[in-house]
């Protein structure tokens, strides 16, 4: 941390908890650009992010961290690129109760490849209370296969500020993880 504000992008599929996580962790009010879901998203939830969510919080040392949540629908993927500019890290939230969450993780890692190649990444698995499979080890195994063996993976309740804060801190201040002698290149 350099004393400069850090910018973290939160992304993942519709219903993963991005807006909820930003509101839970932010100091003061957070900005949301929710609109009534007018497509198949309406079957999952009433409102959906159409541009971005924004919130911020201070670390114990006084540094300010800005959180930018992306829309989960890939028709808004142009916002993913815009919001990724200048970001220090990417948090992917993946709902464990959705159909094939590992495929969703792979899709979002590939979609954010330019950011993943130049910044830190962490994965928060939400809705583990609704589905215990896949396991966190399976998420980590997929990330390792994709060349991201050091990406932290945590079960997260997006409504709980401590869960979200722990995930963000693990992204910003990674703990040393033993890596293979010959680390593979990232293979999205």
Tell me: the pLDDT tens digits for 61-117?
999 999 999 998 888 899 999 999 999 999 999 999 999 999 999 999 999 999 999
Question: What count of other Cβ atoms lies within 10 Å of the Cβ of residue 159?
Answer: 13
Backbone angles phi, psi at 83, to 5 degrees: -70, -25
Tell me: the pLDDT tens digits for 18-33?
999 999 999 988 888 7
Are 67 and 22 a contacting pair, CB within 8 Å? yes
DSSP 8-state secondary structure symbol assigned to residue 185: P
Strands 31-36 and 47-58: antiparallel
Are 117 and 187 a contacting pair, CB within 8 Å? no
């Amino acid at each position: 941390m350099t004393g400069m504000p850090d910018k973290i992008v939160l992304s993942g599929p519709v219903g993963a908890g991005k807006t909820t996580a930003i509101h839970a962790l932010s100091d003061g009010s957070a900005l949301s650009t929710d609109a009534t879901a007018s497509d198949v998203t309406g079957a999952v939830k009433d409102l959906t992010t159409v541009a971005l969510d924004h919130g911020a919080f201070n670390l114990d040392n006084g540094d300010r961290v800005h959180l930018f949540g992306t829309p989960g629908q890939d028709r808004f993927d142009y916002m993913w690129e815009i919001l990724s500019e200048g970001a220090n890290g990417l948090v992917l939230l993946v709902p464990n109760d959705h159909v094939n969450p590992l495929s969703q993780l792979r899709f979002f890692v590939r979609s954010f490849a330019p950011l993943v190649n130049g910044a830190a990444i962490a994965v928060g698995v939400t809705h583990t209370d609704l589905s215990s499979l896949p396991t966190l080890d399976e998420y980590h195994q997929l990330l390792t296969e994709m060349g991201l063996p050091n990406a932290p993976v945590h079960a997260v309740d997006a409504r709980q500020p401590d869960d979200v804060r722990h995930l963000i801190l693990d992204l910003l201040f990674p703990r040393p993880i033993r890596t293979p002698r010959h680390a593979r290149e990232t293979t999205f």
